[in-house]
Amino acid sequence: MPSKNNGVSNWVGWVFFAGFMMIVLGVFQAIAGLTALINPDWLVVTQRSLLVFNLTTWGWVHLLLGLIVLIAGFSVMSGHAWARIVGVLVAASSAIAQLAFVDVHPIWAITILVIDVLVIYALTVHGGELKADR
């Protein structure tokens, strides 16, 4: 069992980890979205791909998802409960989106998928360790 210092658990680091990873995830998502929007020829789509939209639409999806998770990441680090809920929902949505993006760029998609899983773990298991009303 972790010790407590001044009423704050040592597990609070996991919440800051989740917030920071959400910020990183938001930047990664935004980069992926901007790449698809600015230069769609740079991405290669195979015939076995799971993409159901054109790359421009998929680029906007990634860009908006990235901005939402970026804002929620800063709010998680501030201790807001709503941001933890948004963080879990957005990380889960991002993980699902990466499954559709894995044929286009597998290493990038798997990297973001792993970050999504770690964020979900940190927010669900240790999310209550940091409160905004400290």
pTM, full prediction: 0.69
pLDDT of amino acid 93: 84
Is residue 62 in some structural domain? yes
Specify if 61 maps to a domain.
yes
Which residues, 6 or more positions from 96, have their beta carbon under 8 angstroms from its beta carbon? none
For residue 39, count other CB atoms closer than 10 A to its CB: 11
Q: Is residue 131, in this structure, part of any structural domain at all?
A: no
Q: Is residue 85 part of a domain?
A: yes
pLDDT tens by residue, 72-103:
889 888 888 888 898 899 889 888 888 887 88
Rounded CA separation 89/72 (Å): 11
Q: Please name the helix (run of DSSP H) or strand (run of DSSP E) that holds residue 73, with its range, or none.
A: helix 55-77
Whether residue 112 is contained in a domain is answered as: yes
Q: How many domains does the chain have?
A: 1
Q: How far apart are CA 127 and CA 134, in angstroms?
A: 14
